[in-house]
């Protein structure tokens, strides 16, 4: 091995950092620690028997095809099922608007690969999904954060920032958003806000990347139209995944966009992994054809609604005055705000001593702000762990106060 491996690294790799969330998860492996840190689906939501049936059927009826290389775009059976899935939501697309990815994280990585040169600008939310920030930074992207209000990214602040960047010829390549049950904040953008941001993107002729991993996991409230559906100019790219609505072990997602954009994703993916495993695509297609997706989603939604409600009830009961939180209409996360001046990173070490963990909110802020914030996951822990974990967390906050 080279004596100085650092000398050989690319500039992008030399600047790369390991995922803060993945590193935190290593600290929570002890069975004594109750973790609200990961973005893990509940294992009780995994339809093991239905998946086994579908895998067996694929092997029995199309075994050699399932074990062969597939097309980069993805198997037609699965893309056709995704078309039907979106049509049921009132969204008209064709199979040529879809490419299957190896989970949506690959979609984020390919987005950076396709659109970003070192120094290019990307508009993101404050806060925003760490996996997206990491993917864009790995291609030299520079993040510009826009503050949220209760309805998501503030359009006035967005317009002001784009006007400022336009004057110095630094307009971003795209705006990165998670409009439904945003990770980490749990906010859902109302349709009016989505349209306002689309209008601004039209004005400055920039793309929108609509990350949509949780859209189907709605517990309450009114379903909002996707930005892709509202878009009239073909500038919105949707990233979807089966990780949160079926099982993350499949590592399967998709990109939806105008055909001319999908062509670029296909070219980029060919240089990456050629294709997503055919056997897994065919099994998921079979799963959807049998109507299992909706059946299991109904169970998962009921399970997660109860978990969210329990966590919110525990917050109201145990949290000290001055602590606030979001109340999401769906998804897997809520965001907790400590009083100004308190540091969630300092709290984390106290909490670990009390055997409870969360994700420090600062890692979701591209500008280093958010020191008094934290992300909480309610989908994975058991009801008993939610109750006891919130008690431990509240005790930790009181001790720090």
Query: Rounded distance, CA 329 to CA 178, Å?
Result: 14
Query: Rounded distance, CA 105 to CA 113, Å?
Result: 12
Q: What is the pLDDT of residue 15?
A: 65
Fold held by 49-292: 3.40.640
Residue 344 above 70 pLDDT?
yes
Asked if residues 359 and 184 have their Cβ atoms less than 8 Å apart, the reply is yes
> pTM, whole model, 2 decimals?
0.94
Residue spans of the domains in the chain: they are 11-47+294-400, 49-292
Whose CA is closest to 358, among 380, 383, 384, 340? 380
Residue in the block written with tokens 């695509």: 281
Query: Rounded distance, CA 160 to CA 93, Å?
Result: 34
For 11-47+294-400, the fitting CATH number among 3.40.50.970, 3.60.15.10, 3.40.50.11540, 3.90.1150.10 is 3.90.1150.10
Q: What is the pLDDT of residue 20?
A: 59
Residue 1 above 70 pLDDT?
no
Residue 2 above 80 pLDDT?
no
Residue 23 above 90 pLDDT?
no
**Percent of the chain's residues with pLDDT above 90:** 92
Query: Rounded distance, CA 318 to CA 387, Å?
Result: 10
- Flag the least confident range among 27-36, 107-116, 308-317: 27-36
Determine how many CB atoms are found less than 10 A away from the CB of residue 216: 21
Q: What is the pLDDT of residue 172?
A: 98
Q: Place 17 in a pLDDT band, splitting at 50, 70 and 90.
A: low
Q: What is the pLDDT of residue 30?
A: 76
Mean pLDDT value across residues 139-164: 97
Query: What Cα–Cα distance (Å) separates residue 387 from each residue in 35, 178, 379, 384, 391?
Result: 12, 29, 13, 5, 6
Beta-strand (E) ranges in 36-133? 98-101, 121-126
The overall average pLDDT reported for the chain is: 95
pLDDT in tens, 24-48: 666 566 789 999 998 999 999 999 9
User: Between the CA atoms of 372, 378, 381 and 384, what dihedral angle is there, to the nearest 10 degrees?
Assistant: 90
Buried b (16+ CB within 10 A) or exposed e, 373-385: bbbbbbbbbeeeb
Query: Rounded distance, CA 395 to CA 401, Å?
Result: 10
Q: Is 49 exposed, middle or buried (0-12, 13-18, 19+ CB in 10 A)?
A: exposed
Q: What is the pLDDT of residue 31?
A: 83
Mean pLDDT value across residues 294-323: 97
- Residue 115: which H helix or E strand, with range? helix 103-115
Whose CA is closest to 344, among 127, 137, 41, 122? 127
Higher pLDDT, 1 or 294: 294
Q: 12 CB contacts (<8 Å, ≥6 apart)?
A: 118, 138, 139, 140
pLDDT in tens, 360-385: 999 999 999 999 999 999 999 999 99
Q: What is the pLDDT of residue 10?
A: 73
pLDDT in tens, 277-288: 999 999 999 999
Q: Place 87 in a pLDDT band, splitting at 50, 70 and 90.
A: very high
Residue 246 above 70 pLDDT?
yes
Give helix 278-289 / helix 76-87 axis angle, nearest 10°.
40
**Percent of the chain's residues with pLDDT above 70:** 95
Q: Place 110 in a pLDDT band, splitting at 50, 70 and 90.
A: very high
Q: What is the pLDDT of residue 14?
A: 65
Query: Rounded distance, CA 141 to CA 117, Å?
Result: 7
DSSP string, 251-317: --EEEE--HHHHHHHHHHHHTTTSS--HHHHHHHHHHHHTTHHHHHHHHHHHHHHHHHHHHHHHHHH
Whose CA is closest to 212, among 202, 224, 200, 220? 224
pLDDT in tens, 169-220: 999 999 999 999 999 999 999 999 999 999 999 999 999 999 999 999 999 9
Q: Place 74 in a pLDDT band, splitting at 50, 70 and 90.
A: very high
């Amino acid at each position: 091995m080279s004596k100085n491996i650092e000398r050989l690294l690319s500039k992008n790799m030399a600047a790369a950092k390991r995922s803060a969330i993945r590193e935190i998860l290593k600290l929570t492996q002890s069975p004594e620690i109750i973790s609200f840190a990961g973005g893990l689906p509940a294992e009780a939501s995994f339809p093991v028997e239905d998946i086994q049936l579908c895998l067996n059927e694929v092997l029995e009826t199309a075994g050699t095809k399932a074990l062969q290389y597939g097309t980069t775009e993805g198997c037609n059976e699965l893309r056709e099922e995704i078309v039907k899935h979106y049509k049921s939501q009132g969204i008209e697309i064709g199979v040529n608007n879809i490419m299957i990815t190896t989970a949506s994280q690959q979609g984020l990585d390919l987005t950076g690969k396709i659109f970003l040169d070192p120094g290019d600008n990307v508009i993101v939310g404050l806060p925003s999904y760490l996996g997206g920030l990491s993917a864009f930074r790995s291609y030299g992207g520079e993040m510009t954060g826009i503050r949220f209000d209760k309805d998501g990214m503030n359009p006035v602040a967005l317009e002001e920032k784009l006007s400022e960047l336009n004057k110095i010829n630094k307009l971003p390549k795209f705006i990165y958003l998670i409009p439904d049950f945003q990770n980490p904040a749990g906010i859902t953008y109302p349709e009016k806000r989505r349209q306002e941001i689309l209008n601004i993107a039209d004005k400055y002729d920039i793309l929108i990347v609509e990350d949509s991993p949780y859209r189907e996991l709605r517990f309450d409230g009114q379903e909002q139209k996707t930005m892709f559906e509202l878009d009239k100019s073909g500038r919105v790219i949707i990233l979807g995944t089966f990780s949160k609505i079926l099982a993350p072990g499949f590592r399967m997602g998709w990109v939806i966009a105008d055909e001319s954009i999908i062509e670029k994703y296909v070219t980029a993916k060919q240089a990456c992994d050629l294709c997503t495993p055919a056997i897994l695509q065919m099994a998921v297609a079979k799963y959807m054809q049998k109507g299992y997706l909706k059946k299991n989603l109904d169970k998962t939604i009921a399970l997660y609604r109860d978990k969210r409600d329990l966590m919110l009830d525990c917050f109201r009961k145990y949290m000290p005055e001055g602590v606030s939180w979001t109340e999401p209409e769906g998804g897997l996360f809520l965001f907790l705000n400590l009083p100004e001046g308190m540091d969630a990173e300092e709290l984390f070490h106290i909490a670990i001593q009390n055997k409870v963990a969360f994700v420090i909110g600062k890692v979701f802020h591209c500008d280093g702000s958010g020191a008094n914030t934290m992300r909480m996951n309610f989908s994975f822990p058991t009801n008993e762990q939610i109750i006891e974990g919130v008690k431990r967390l509240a005790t930790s906050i009181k001790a720090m106060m």
